[in-house]
């Protein structure tokens, strides 16, 4: 038993119970990791109907491969890795775009900031602005390539470290940082463009 193994006593206990035939323990594993898996599946799989099958497939794979899990990372990270790879395989099979073409790098007008500055004078306006921004953000996030929106969600919503994202996606740390940078930039520019369009 190495030092890494000792880092995850809860995972070890759960895995040992599942391997001993306790399916209820696997239910706890599902409960603990469902949020992360949902995040990956929703961001990568555009078809809502397929998500149901893919989510189940992920956990059945995890169950069947559990005896091979060596505690080199957290159990949730390992299941996240299975989720990411299952979704990736689905996208490749369906020939769907993983990373699309970049938009032009030209500077865009700061309509968003101007709108914010104007809105800051009034509380109601701020609430409306945030509601509007939230809606536009969701809309524009959905338009991002699958890998970009997954990385953004893993980093900013799940608050995973670069190392954990690297373990889940198998992408080198440098690539994760690079994709995250491009994804944020693209998202910001798309939101600014949307505001510009609305202003016209």
Q: Which positions touch another protein (CB under 8 A)?
A: 18-23, 26-27, 30-31, 34-35, 38-39, 41-43, 51-52, 55-56, 59-61, 63, 66-67, 82, 85-86, 88-89, 92, 110, 112-113, 116, 130, 133-134, 137-138, 141, 152-153, 156-157, 159, 170, 181, 184-185, 187-188, 191-192
Using the CB atoms, write b or e for 145-182: b if 16+ within 10 Å. Answer: bbbbbbbbbbbeebebeeebbbbbbebeeeebbebbeb
Minimum distance from CB of 16 to another protein (Å)? 9
Minimum distance from CB of 19 to another protein (Å)? 5
Name the token pair of 95: 């020939």
Minimum distance from CB of 81 to another protein (Å)? 8
Minimum distance from CB of 68 to another protein (Å)? 9
On whether the CB atoms of residues 100 and 189 are closer than 8 A, the answer is: no
Taking the least distance from each CB to another protein, the nearer of 8 and 151 is 151
Return the residue matching tokens 């463009």: 193
CB neighbours of 71 closer than 8 A, spacing ≥ 6? 4, 5, 7, 8, 11, 12, 15
């Amino acid at each position: 038993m190495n030092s890494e193994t000792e880092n995850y006593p809860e995972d070890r206990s759960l895995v040992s119970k599942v391997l001993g035939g306790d399916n209820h323990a696997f239910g706890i594993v599902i409960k603990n990791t469902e949020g992360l898996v949902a995040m990956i599946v929703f961001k990568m799989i555009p078809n809502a109907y397929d998500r149901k099958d893919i989510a189940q497939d992920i956990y059945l794979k995890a169950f069947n491969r559990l005896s091979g899990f060596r505690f080199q990372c957290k159990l949730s990270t390992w299941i996240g890795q299975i989720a990411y790879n299952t979704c990736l395989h689905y996208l490749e099979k369906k020939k769907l775009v993983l990373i699309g073409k970049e938009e032009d790098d030209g500077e865009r007008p700061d309509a968003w900031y101007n709108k914010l500055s104007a809105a800051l004078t009034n509380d109601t306006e701020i609430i409306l602005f945030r509601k509007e921004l939230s809606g536009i953000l969701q809309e524009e996030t959905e338009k991002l390539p699958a890998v970009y929106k997954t990385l953004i969600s893993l980093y900013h919503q799940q608050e995973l470290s670069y190392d954990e994202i690297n373990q889940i996606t198998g992408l080198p740390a440098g690539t994760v940082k690079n994709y995250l940078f491009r994804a944020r930039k693209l998202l910001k520019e798309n939101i600014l463009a949307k505001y510009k369009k609305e202003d016209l």
